[in-house]
Structure 1
């Protein structure tokens, strides 16, 4: 790893890939034309999930994304283009949505129908509107065979680059879910894991939103351990995992802890053939948002402790309240070679973009 010499300069010196952009629909009614019966009639009478988990104390979106006409933040293409794509001259923006039927705890057939309808809506209303958008296949992993069929249906789309699996309560390393990884590997798709609304702490649902937001990274740590120790990467060696909106400062300590335990306990998991940290460096990438705001020296040290300058992918999390601007998210003291990797090259190479 060569971090090079430091030079001042904004990100605009380099191309930019944003790996976590939340496009949204304005109303569930927009999905109805893409649904078959009986789900179309069912959803036409939908009045909400009947669940209110958290209200957000300072609002869930950027204030400039709250439009006078009451449009849902992230649902207006023209505003998104102006505030994100054009303002920062982005090469690509990866759409991850903000609607995750994958975390529904019941009505699994409906979850699959909603995921499929959302995919078709996203392709028509977003991917076909701007060539800078890259898309995600939403699936309902509650029904593994149906999830695989959805991957098969859309994998050949030229601007679909990944399968989205929100992190909730499902341990995706369990062999029950392995056909999803097999299908993604066979079609050369990344598997993106994003925090879902069912993420919990070890004690269950946190009492306050701030608790929930702070402990999100624990879910990403647990999922990384689960995938590695259940042999996903030995079984599917070309699997690539992008972890979105979970931070990254925890990665070095997790690698150390896994390696130390593996030295003593690997007889329990003989299918795990390499040191766990090697799986992290080979198969995982981590989106930068939310950056924990360390000092520039500490942030550079984190990259060094990871043992690679290829593990970080830039993301803004648009249009959320903790949006990370590419003009302020990385220290200006970072060497240009490292900024270029984080802003562009790491995502380009990991997603195998041309």
Structure 2
């Protein structure tokens, strides 16, 4: 929601602690460059890096810049790549209890050289544990995988699934149907390791008619990919086959959810003969197996937002996120509508994520 330090605080100073404990479910740590991964790679893939050209985070140039202005560091580091700055601007400034790191490097979206994608995901996990998770016990981690070759993804889940700070498997949403049985071994492994599957917008998200011409188009309708993924996961029987599967939908918004549940339920009543493995109304799977991060949250009439939560028929579906360090960062002190009760705000800021990720209680949570 802001592109620079807001009037809630002057730059570099800690603000008044929020009245609730906070879990931020979407924080983007970054590498400075691909060279950070080289110590964690082996041949033949290490040799590939001599010719690495990489791929863009998005297929657009951000018209106002992709990051908060105060995260553009004078020393030239990439926003989100400096632990001390992230600690000061996010963890300490808002007195956060936990921050779930989701990265911004997604080999899962590579459209070719799938073995290389697996090697890059493996190297990123090694680098990430040593350079981020080990620096602060408030950080919680996401296992990066390459679902293009499911057995490679399962291998990473087996390797890192018991790490005490790893809480989810990250699957960027793009242009592939992640509910397809081809990917089901990933959900089986995540269930076995008691990990959430975090689904975040990736760098290859397209719309129903392909790639939009402008960034503002893409950013407005990227929720199409999240809607399609919810439907795809439910109707392909992921939750009937693996009932312990938990899905966190990250950075895709949520105001589209009530109408999607209504439409799925309506069609299921008439067409369920096509998917006999789906045993319940789709909306029931949503309420049990899905959670949705708040960012990017729209700014309509606050009464509308309260009604939106009421239409979801659950106060447990939303989890707070800032999307740090991006341009549309949502401050914990400014993002939730004034119409939300203290009880609802506490659930969104802390309780829903704590319960969904099955986290130990933070020492500050009793305040």
TM-score in same-fold range (> 0.5): yes
Instruction: Tell me how far 1:41 sits from its aligned partner.
Output: 2.1
- Find the aligned partners of 1:69 and 1:335 in 2 and give their Cα distance: 42
Question: In the alignment, which of 188, 197, 212 is matched to residue 218 of structure 2?
Answer: 212
TM superposition score normalised by structure 2: 0.92
Moved more, 316-325 or 48-57: 48-57
Cα displacement string for residues 10-46 of structure 1 (whole angstroms, at most 9, x for unaligned residues): 8711110000000000011010001111111221442
Residue 334 (structure 1) aligned with residue 324 (structure 2): no
Structure 1 residue aligned with 2:142: 136
Question: In the alignment, which of 44, 48, 66 is matched to residue 38 of structure 1?
Answer: 44
Q: Report how many residues are paired.
A: 345
Instruction: Tell me how far 1:49 sits from its aligned partner.
Output: 3.4
Residue 103 (structure 1) aligned with residue 109 (structure 2): yes
Task: Tell me the secondary structure at the aligned position of residue 197 of structure 1.
Answer: coil
Consecutive unaligned residues of structure 1, counting only runs of 5 or more, are 1-9
Structure 1 residue aligned with 2:297: 291
For residues 141-290 of structure 1, the aligned pairs below 5 Å read 141-290=147-296
Task: Tell me the secondary structure at the aligned position of residue 134 of structure 1.
Answer: strand
Q: Is the 8 A contact 2:170 2:199 kept in 1?
A: yes
- The 1:50–1:14 alpha-carbon spacing in structure 2 relative to 1, beyond 3 Å, is closer
Structure 2 residue aligned with 1:5: none
Structure 2 residue aligned with 1:121: 127
Consecutive unaligned residues of structure 2, counting only runs of 5 or more, are 1-15, 361-367
- Find the aligned partners of 2:302 and 2:268 in 1 and give their Cα distance: 32
- Find the aligned partners of 1:44 and 1:28 in 2 and give their Cα distance: 11
- Find the aligned partners of 1:137 and 1:170 in 2 and give their Cα distance: 19
Q: Is the 8 A contact 2:302 2:337 kept in 1?
A: yes
Task: Tell me the secondary structure at the aligned position of residue 132 of structure 2.
Answer: helix
Q: Is the 8 A contact 1:231 1:272 kept in 2?
A: yes
Task: Tell me the secondary structure at the aligned position of residue 246 of structure 1.
Answer: coil
Q: Is the 8 A contact 2:58 2:204 kept in 1?
A: no
Cα displacement string for residues 83-113 of structure 1 (whole angstroms, at most 9, x for unaligned residues): 0000000000000000000000000010000
For residues 54-133 of structure 1, the aligned pairs below 5 Å read 54-133=60-139
- Find the aligned partners of 1:221 and 1:202 in 2 and give their Cα distance: 11
Task: Tell me the secondary structure at the aligned position of residue 222 of structure 1.
Answer: helix
